Chains A and B, each alone.
Chain A
């Protein structure tokens, strides 16, 4: 069985400060990892993905994530956040037949001026 744990339900952060959102996963099959962002009353937008290769992946809007197999983690980082980064962020795990995604519970980021 697959599972995803996002360790922080809410992360308040000041504008222009760095932010890290933590994600741990459990899987017995091939691992494909994703981060999605969801703005209020909208669908999910793909930020970045890890399929194979380099463990440091860069995404849109200045976000990056590092895949760590030994720690079964895929933490998301941004060196300097903007007010517009206020949203909910979801870590997701694929790799089963049909590649349905298993999502974490989400981390709500609130950027303060």
Chain B
């Protein structure tokens, strides 16, 4: 049984560049979540999908951010025109649709914007 995987684990980019992260959830998990964690803080919710439908987006998700989950499997999170304030750990989690409320997290992608 494989867990949630994320790629890349680390990304260093220059301000103004676009970046894309990938998340592969646990097989057959219907729900997929993205969170952002800055240094010394708890994770903050960004968005979530049920199957391929994006059902909620946080106001933290500015128009430079876009997330997709085509075919209800893996998901991508893209940040356009990165800013230094985007530097953070981006965490992905998945959850079964029924009977469970806990979320299982991936190892995260650490983004550094220089």
Tell me if A83 counts as interface (CB < 8 A to partner B): no
- Chain B residues touching A, majority SS: strand
Contacts of A34 in B (CB 8 A): 102
**Distance in Å: Cβ of A24 to nearest Cβ of chain B:** 14
Contact with B along A88-109 (1 / 0, CB 8 A): 0010101101111111111000
Given known pairs A42-B108, A43-B108, the reply for A103 and B55 (CB within 8 Å) is no
Contacts of B44 in A (CB 8 A): 103
Tell me if B110 counts as interface (CB < 8 A to partner A): yes
**Distance in Å: Cβ of A81 to nearest Cβ of chain B:** 21
Tell me the bound Cα distance from A105 to B51 in angstroms.
Answer: 30
Contact with A along B77-114 (1 / 0, CB 8 A): 00000000000000101010000011111111010000
* Total chain A interface residues with beta-carbon distance under 8 A: 26
* Total chain B interface residues with beta-carbon distance under 8 A: 27
**Distance in Å: Cβ of B1 to nearest Cβ of chain A:** 14
Stretch at the interface among A14-22, A44-52, A60-68, A69-77: A44-52
Tell me the bound Cα distance from A101 to B107 in angstroms.
Answer: 17
Report whether A100 and B101 are in contact in the complex, using a CB–CB cutoff of 8 Å: no
- Write the residues of chain B forming the contact surface with A, with a CB cutoff of 8 angstroms: 4, 6, 31, 33, 35, 40-45, 48, 50, 55-56, 91, 93, 95, 101-108, 110
